[in-house]
Structure 1
Amino acid sequence: MLTHATDSDALLTPSEVANLFRVDPKTVTRWAKAGKLSSIRTLGGHRRYRELEVRDLLNGVPQQRPTD
């Protein structure tokens, strides 16, 4: 069964996020390590970021983090 990614499932690379915020990609990685931005790891160990979360952060919308 194939599933199609929707816009809400879109993932961005650190470089793409950095371009949106006009910062260095290493800064985006530091934000993820600090918990300011959640990331997903690929099988190869690379970080990817949810586009909706990045857009909300870019627009200044406070992000609710799920509690465990």
Structure 2
Amino acid sequence: MSARPISSEALLTPSEVAELFRVDPKTVTRWAKAGKITSIRTLGGHRRYREAEIRGLLGGVPGQRAASA
């Protein structure tokens, strides 16, 4: 049996993305269904979003500041 490599890529929940954009979590899900943002499905069927992609999008939103590392 081969083990899958563990990705160190940070993922966000719909609620976390919604908080960053100040929208409802259902809006985030609609964006994913429309192809505006990329979502990953967990084994349980829940959506997760790549933090790097979301932070990149936040850079283009007026009035939003990305967290400094």
TM-score, with normalisation over the residues of structure 2? 0.77
Could you tell me how far apart the structure 2 residues matched to 1:28 and 1:4 are? Answer: 23
Unaligned runs of 5+ in 1: 62-68
Distance 1:15 1:36, change over 3 A: same
Q: Number of residues paired by the alignment?
A: 58
Deviation at 1:60, TM superposition (A): 1.3
**Structure holding more helix per residue:** 1
**Paired position in structure 1 for 2:52:** 52
Cα distance per residue 1:11-37 (max 9 Å; x no partner):
000000000000000000000000000
- Structure 1: which amino acid aligns with 2:55? R
Task: Spell out the pairing of 1:11-22 with structure 2 (5 A cutoff).
Answer: 11-22=11-22
RMSD: 1.8
- Structure 2: which amino acid aligns with 1:57? L
**Paired position in structure 2 for 1:36:** 36
**What stretches of structure 1 move > 2 A for 4+ residues in a row?**
1-4
Distance 1:16 1:4, change over 3 A: same
Aligned-residue sequence identity (percent) comes to 78
Could you tell me how far apart the structure 2 residues matched to 1:4 and 1:60 are? Answer: 27
